[in-house]
Amino acid sequence: MKFTKKLLITALLSFAVLGTARVAYVAYVQKTQFQQAFDAAKKKDFATALKLWQSLAEQGDANSQYNLGLMYSRGEGVKQDDAEAMKWWRKAAEQGLSIAQYNLGVGYIVAEQA
Protein backbone atom coordinates (compact mmCIF):
# COMPACT_ATOMS: atom_id res chain seq x y z
CA MET A 1 0.00 0.00 0.00
CA LYS A 2 2.79 2.44 0.91
CA PHE A 3 4.62 1.65 -2.32
CA THR A 4 1.53 2.36 -4.42
CA LYS A 5 0.95 5.66 -2.63
CA LYS A 6 4.58 6.73 -3.15
CA LEU A 7 4.45 5.70 -6.80
CA LEU A 8 1.25 7.68 -7.33
CA ILE A 9 2.68 10.78 -5.62
CA THR A 10 5.89 10.51 -7.65
CA ALA A 11 3.94 10.19 -10.87
CA LEU A 12 1.74 13.19 -10.06
CA LEU A 13 4.73 15.35 -9.14
CA SER A 14 6.50 14.32 -12.35
CA PHE A 15 3.50 15.35 -14.43
CA ALA A 16 3.30 18.67 -12.56
CA VAL A 17 6.97 19.43 -13.20
CA LEU A 18 6.75 18.41 -16.86
CA GLY A 19 3.61 20.49 -17.31
CA THR A 20 5.32 23.55 -15.84
CA ALA A 21 8.36 23.03 -18.05
CA ARG A 22 6.14 22.87 -21.13
CA VAL A 23 4.38 26.11 -20.21
CA ALA A 24 7.75 27.83 -19.71
CA TYR A 25 9.00 26.49 -23.04
CA VAL A 26 5.88 27.68 -24.89
CA ALA A 27 6.23 31.15 -23.33
CA TYR A 28 9.90 31.26 -24.40
CA VAL A 29 9.06 30.22 -27.96
CA GLN A 30 6.29 32.83 -28.18
CA LYS A 31 8.60 35.56 -26.86
CA THR A 32 11.28 34.56 -29.37
CA GLN A 33 8.75 34.44 -32.21
CA PHE A 34 7.40 37.87 -31.23
CA GLN A 35 10.92 39.33 -31.23
CA GLN A 36 11.65 37.79 -34.63
CA ALA A 37 8.47 39.41 -35.98
CA PHE A 38 9.41 42.75 -34.42
CA ASP A 39 12.91 42.59 -35.93
CA ALA A 40 11.46 41.69 -39.33
CA ALA A 41 9.04 44.62 -39.20
CA LYS A 42 11.89 47.00 -38.34
CA LYS A 43 13.70 45.75 -41.46
CA LYS A 44 10.48 46.26 -43.44
CA ASP A 45 10.19 42.49 -44.00
CA PHE A 46 6.45 42.68 -43.47
CA ALA A 47 5.72 39.25 -44.96
CA THR A 48 7.74 37.58 -42.20
CA ALA A 49 6.34 39.85 -39.50
CA LEU A 50 2.79 39.15 -40.67
CA LYS A 51 3.30 35.39 -40.68
CA LEU A 52 4.80 35.32 -37.18
CA TRP A 53 2.42 37.82 -35.57
CA GLN A 54 -0.62 36.23 -37.23
CA SER A 55 0.25 32.89 -35.66
CA LEU A 56 0.73 34.39 -32.20
CA ALA A 57 -2.33 36.62 -32.50
CA GLU A 58 -4.53 33.65 -33.31
CA GLN A 59 -3.20 32.00 -30.15
CA GLY A 60 -4.39 35.04 -28.19
CA ASP A 61 -1.18 37.06 -27.77
CA ALA A 62 -2.35 40.64 -27.16
CA ASN A 63 0.88 42.32 -28.29
CA SER A 64 0.81 40.43 -31.57
CA GLN A 65 -2.85 41.33 -32.03
CA TYR A 66 -1.98 44.99 -31.49
CA ASN A 67 0.86 44.85 -34.00
CA LEU A 68 -1.33 43.15 -36.59
CA GLY A 69 -3.75 46.03 -36.11
CA LEU A 70 -0.91 48.46 -36.84
CA MET A 71 0.04 46.58 -39.99
CA TYR A 72 -3.55 46.69 -41.29
CA SER A 73 -3.97 50.32 -40.27
CA ARG A 74 -0.80 51.34 -42.12
CA GLY A 75 -1.07 48.90 -45.01
CA GLU A 76 2.30 47.36 -44.21
CA GLY A 77 2.58 44.02 -45.99
CA VAL A 78 -1.20 43.83 -46.31
CA LYS A 79 -3.91 45.83 -48.02
CA GLN A 80 -4.79 48.77 -45.78
CA ASP A 81 -7.98 47.82 -43.94
CA ASP A 82 -9.27 49.87 -41.01
CA ALA A 83 -11.96 47.32 -40.13
CA GLU A 84 -9.35 44.57 -39.86
CA ALA A 85 -7.12 46.86 -37.79
CA MET A 86 -10.02 47.56 -35.42
CA LYS A 87 -10.76 43.83 -35.14
CA TRP A 88 -7.23 43.08 -33.93
CA TRP A 89 -7.07 46.10 -31.64
CA ARG A 90 -10.40 45.07 -30.10
CA LYS A 91 -9.04 41.61 -29.32
CA ALA A 92 -5.94 43.10 -27.69
CA ALA A 93 -7.98 45.78 -25.87
CA GLU A 94 -10.28 43.13 -24.39
CA GLN A 95 -7.19 41.62 -22.79
CA GLY A 96 -6.35 44.94 -21.16
CA LEU A 97 -3.59 46.18 -23.48
CA SER A 98 -3.87 49.94 -22.95
CA ILE A 99 -2.27 51.05 -26.23
CA ALA A 100 -4.76 48.86 -28.10
CA GLN A 101 -7.60 50.40 -26.07
CA TYR A 102 -6.35 53.85 -27.07
CA ASN A 103 -6.05 52.99 -30.77
CA LEU A 104 -9.47 51.38 -30.71
CA GLY A 105 -10.96 54.53 -29.16
CA VAL A 106 -9.28 56.76 -31.73
CA GLY A 107 -10.52 54.43 -34.46
CA TYR A 108 -14.10 54.82 -33.23
CA ILE A 109 -13.77 58.62 -33.15
CA VAL A 110 -12.35 58.72 -36.69
CA ALA A 111 -15.07 56.37 -37.97
CA GLU A 112 -17.78 58.48 -36.33
CA GLN A 113 -16.47 61.67 -37.97
CA ALA A 114 -16.30 60.09 -41.42
For 17-75, write each residue's pLDDT tens digit: 444 444 454 566 677 899 999 999 999 999 999 999 999 999 999 999 999 999 999 99
Q: How many domains does the chain have?
A: 1
* Closest to 77 in 3D by CA, of 48, 54, 56, 103: 48
Question: Residue 17's domain is classified under what CATH number?
Answer: 1.25.40.10
Note the pTM of the prediction, 2 decimals. Answer: 0.75
**What's the confidence (pLDDT) of residue 21?**
44
Structural domain containing residue 47: 2-113
Q: Three-state SS string across 10-25, please?
A: HHHHHHHHHHHHHHHH
